Amino acid sequence: MSWSSRIAAAAGRRAVRLVPAARRDWAEAVWAEAREVPPGWPRLAWRAGGVLLIAKEGQMARRIGILLLGAVAAGTAAWGAWPKSSVSLSHGAASQGDVIITLTLLAGLPLLTRRLLGPPDSRAARWLRAGFYVAILAIMPAKAVAEMFVGAVPRGGIDRHTFDLSNSNGGLPVPGSVSGGPDWGGEIFLLFITACYLAVILALTARRTKVAPATLAISARAGLVLGLVVYAVDPLGGEKIATNPWLRGSAADPLVALAWVLLFSAPFVAGALAAQRCHVPDDPGRASIARAWQGFAAGLVCNGVGALTATVLGTSTTALMLKSAWVRGWLYHWHPLTASALYGRELWASEDVAFYADLRDLPDHRDHGSPVRRGVRQQAPSAAGQRRSGWTAGPRRA
């Protein structure tokens, strides 16, 4: 047997593993039969047919297409989230680390899960995974926009004025420069949470965990509804101030109450429905265990999908509003809201934001050293107390 034949045979044996197990015999058959074909071109043509068979049965075109699509999506998200040259070194390093680790998690965790628990074996599982990937990739650039905004000193206008007011002790920062440093603890915590959610979803959609496709479908739908309702009720935060002027009611507003009820009940409802759909004949003991497992898995998936949906929509809305005064005005009915104030609403849902409107109403608010500044500081009860002023652009991370 020549060295070229050995190489071809070895390559064929490796390639056969790309074919699903149910079809593997056929691919192996072509390779085994090649030994009976006269050497030279006929044998080469026979093996070429085998390669075609493997490509077709292994759905190589689909796999390569998905891989390319994933690479393009990841590249676009990374490009959007990658820090620009105007960002300080520490902010840039944090954002770069965030992007690299998130992409590593997205690429590495599925391989690890595949080795330990097997591949996804249903359409529902594959769709759920794809949805999670799209959501995490969408969060990356949106989060970067919000974080870069926190660290940036506004170049001018009312945002700059707001920034100066909130930095009365911080000297005179250069407009357009970056103030403060990244919140490393927060970044690590967010990455950890992302990794946990991703690992749970990958595990529950793997073959060996035996979560039924119906369970995944029910819980994903329930989670989607949950996320949409939470976003609709509290699009930019968890406190009532964030939802003004849409919902001017108190924290006991019926819609807010509905969101809280859904938050806790949706996973239970999804779990109950999934358990009801689970049938294990002839063994009551095994049936109850299987039902409990399907219900538990449905609750986890519902929770994960809901949280991710609300996060994607909320973060994207924040990023859009920070980037676009038009969107900001449209959503807030041309309420006099700057990007700084908006960020304060979103991030901390701080009541300090309310004072921003008061600031706008005062006639000489452009005078940085005027009594107005002192007055505003005095009006903001929580600015010096339990939390930082929510309407500031800069000093979130000192």
Site membership for another protein, residue 367 (CB under 8 A): no
DSSP 3-state of 38: coil
What does the alpha-carbon distance between residue 225 and residue 130 come to, in Å, rounded to a whole number?
18
Site membership for another protein, residue 292 (CB under 8 A): no
- Segment (H or E) for 325: helix 325-331
Q: Which is nearer to another protein, 22 or 174 (CB)?
A: 22
Nearest residue to 358 via CA among 386, 336, 334:
336
Q: What is the dihedral of CA 46, 48, 51, 53, to 10 degrees?
A: -60
Report the residue from 26, 82, 268, 296 that binds another protein according to the rule CB under 8 A. Answer: 26
What does the alpha-carbon distance between residue 260 and residue 52 come to, in Å, rounded to a whole number?
55
Site membership for another protein, residue 29 (CB under 8 A): yes
Site membership for another protein, residue 20 (CB under 8 A): no
- The stretch near another protein (CB under 8 A) out of 28-36, 118-126, 231-239, 314-322 is 28-36
Site membership for another protein, residue 40 (CB under 8 A): no
Shortest separation between residue 68's beta carbon and another protein, angstroms: 24
Shortest separation between residue 221's beta carbon and another protein, angstroms: 33
- Report how many helices (DSSP H) and strands (DSSP E) the chain contains, helices first: 16, 0
Q: Which is nearer to another protein, 56 or 208 (CB)?
A: 56
Site membership for another protein, residue 37 (CB under 8 A): yes
Q: Which 41-100 positions form the footprint of another protein (CB under 8 A)?
A: 45-50, 52-53, 56-57
CB contact at 8 A, 194 and 105: yes
Structure-token pair, residue 126: 């594959």
- The stretch near another protein (CB under 8 A) out of 21-29, 65-73, 169-177, 195-203 is 21-29
DSSP state of 125: H
**Amino acid identity for residue 205 in this structure:** T
Site membership for another protein, residue 36 (CB under 8 A): yes
DSSP 3-state of 84: coil
Shortest separation between residue 306's beta carbon and another protein, angstroms: 41
Number of residues that bind another protein (CB under 8 A): 21
Report the residue from 6, 17, 35, 366 that binds another protein according to the rule CB under 8 A. Answer: 35
- The stretch near another protein (CB under 8 A) out of 39-47, 75-83, 138-146, 294-302 is 39-47
Q: Which is nearer to another protein, 12 or 182 (CB)?
A: 12
Helices (H), 22-119: 24-33, 41-57, 60-81, 89-117
Q: Which is nearer to another protein, 46 or 260 (CB)?
A: 46
Q: Which is nearer to another protein, 50 or 314 (CB)?
A: 50
With tokens 């807010």, the residue in question is 256
Shortest separation between residue 150's beta carbon and another protein, angstroms: 58
Q: Around Cβ 253, how many Cβ atoms within 10 Å? A: 15
Q: Which is nearer to another protein, 6 or 56 (CB)?
A: 56
Shortest separation between residue 38's beta carbon and another protein, angstroms: 10
**Amino acid identity for residue 132 in this structure:** F
**Amino acid identity for residue 275 in this structure:** A
Burial of 24 from C-beta contacts in 10 A (0-12 / 13-18 / 19+)? middle
What does the alpha-carbon distance between residue 55 and residue 62 come to, in Å, rounded to a whole number?
10
Site membership for another protein, residue 5 (CB under 8 A): no
What does the alpha-carbon distance between residue 155 and residue 176 come to, in Å, rounded to a whole number?
5
* Residues lying near another protein in the complex (CB under 8 A): 23, 25-26, 28-30, 32-33, 35-37, 45-50, 52-53, 56-57
